[in-house]
Structure 1
Amino acid sequence: MRRLPNEIRDEVKEAIADSAEAVRLDIIANAPEDEGDLKRSVAAKFSSDKLAVYVGPGARGAMIQSRRTGSPFATRTDTGKKKISPSARKDLMQFFKAYWLERGTRGGTITEWNGQTLEHPITIPPLPALRFIERAWDGNREWAKQRINAAVRNALDKVVRRR
């Protein structure tokens, strides 16, 4: 697909963008109410050729971290390259916040902090999985697949007709 002329790829790029926007809007609609920063952080971040996209809270930070370390979950923040910017760090925090809300947490008790035993241990209750991102994707998956597949078929038809 990347080797095709731009005018042929444009319909596919538009289908991907439309699909990403539908998922983005549903994530915002399904996201839990908080201070508002989670919903504001929901974005679609496209690859340079616009044929791939990250959609979700903190998408920009997750994409930057993935490029730098191979995974948005990597614990390394310095890979010999320029450090992550404060705004990208905020985006990455929203990514992790959404991940914890999406998947839930098991909770637990913190008995130490910075190597020191706490006088009063902190109990963190478990958080149930909210699955707001999964529901947004599930609600748009078939439509997005059909839309993108139709655009790819049209692009390939144009290539065949050119010959």
Structure 2
Amino acid sequence: MAARSASASSPSTHETKRPPTGTQPFAKPMNLMRPRMRGSSRQQLDRAHVKHNRLQNRSDLAEDKPKKVAAELQNRTQDRDRATAALYVNETLVDAARSSIARLERRVNDLGVDRQELERLEYANASLTSDLAAATQRCADLDAARTKAVAENIAIRDRIAGLVTFVQPGSSPSRSA
């Protein structure tokens, strides 16, 4: 099509060539066909230019469309890559949070066990403290009883010593009766 429009616009087509003599016996004279041919050729040329321009526009659009699609594909690829990177970062953060949660849960369980052990030890300590207080009181009571018994023992010895002095082997039997 481009070759046709190029040949139509060349200066040689506007010049009228005479046919060789004897080739067209009944040909019309060239001067009668010239005005009609010229207008017809002009219309054909204009139509060819319009068609050429329309095809050129379609060609330009067809060339632009893959470029636009490639640019859009590039943008989508970059968006996908960014989303993948963000997803990886988020997965890493979630994994870190999960391991922190697991560590904290183990610590809470350890503290729960430690708290139970502490409560058991506090109960045992309270029991032992009350036992110690009872034993201390018992020791104090026993010390008081021992002190009293020692005092009574001393008093009894003093009495016995006093009685022994009354009952001496050299004393008279009437006295002992």
Q: Give the structure with the larger strand fraction.
A: 1
TM-score between both structures, scaled by the size of structure 2: 0.21
TM-score between both structures, scaled by the size of structure 1: 0.23
Q: Give the structure with the larger helix fraction.
A: 2
**Structure with max Cα Rg:** 2
